Amino acid sequence: MDENISSGEDDGDEEYRDDLEGIRETNMIKDDEEEDINKVEEKAWKLLNQAKETGVECCNDVNLDLLLNFFRDELATGTYETRKNGIDLELLTKAKAWIKGEDSLWVGWEMESKREDYVREMDREGRWKKFEEDQQELGLEIENGVLRLLVDDLLLDLISC
């Protein structure tokens, strides 16, 4: 009987150790994620300061916030992580073109190499997924409008008889 009690206690200790190990792993993952977020944030601020130093024309705080969000987004996507050399220059050039309006979507669309980037960007932001939902919603609105017109015509015909 003592054996059963002691084996039950061992099972409880083992479960407790497993739970603690799971908690430690979760905390380590959270710490890694926070560290990545902090790195992106720090790099984005450095890029913003470099942009100010190189003469990017951002006159107000709203533009600076937009530019900071642009850097955060570009760095967070991970496309720039694989290439460590030239990241700053490439992002600054892209930011300058974006501010000046030179980086038009349709100009780049004509170059086949850019199409894949644009489709990836649209898919990442969920615009393609929303397109199908918008298409269904528009169909329902048209259907309801036609039904409303038919019911109105029917009521007018019934009233006029």
Question: What is the pLDDT tens value at each position of the chain, 161 positions in all?
Answer: 445 454 555 556 677 677 667 666 676 666 667 777 778 788 888 888 887 777 666 555 656 777 888 778 877 776 555 455 556 777 777 777 777 666 554 455 455 566 666 666 666 655 556 677 788 889 999 999 999 999 999 999 999 97
CA atoms within 13 A on the CB side of 23: 6
- State whether 11 and 76 are in the same domain: yes
What per-residue confidence (pLDDT) applies to 66?
A: 77
Query: Where a domain ends, among 103, 125, 147?
Result: 103
- State whether 135 and 68 are in the same domain: no
Give the torsion sign (CA, 26, 38, 82, 97): positive
- State residue 83 phi and psi, 5-degree precision: -110, 105
pTM: 0.43
Query: Where a domain ends, among 103, 124, 148?
Result: 103
What domain range includes position 125?
A: 115-161
Q: Which two tokens stand for residue 81?
A: 């992580």
CA distances from 83 to 1, 20, 90, 94, 157 (A): 65, 38, 11, 16, 71
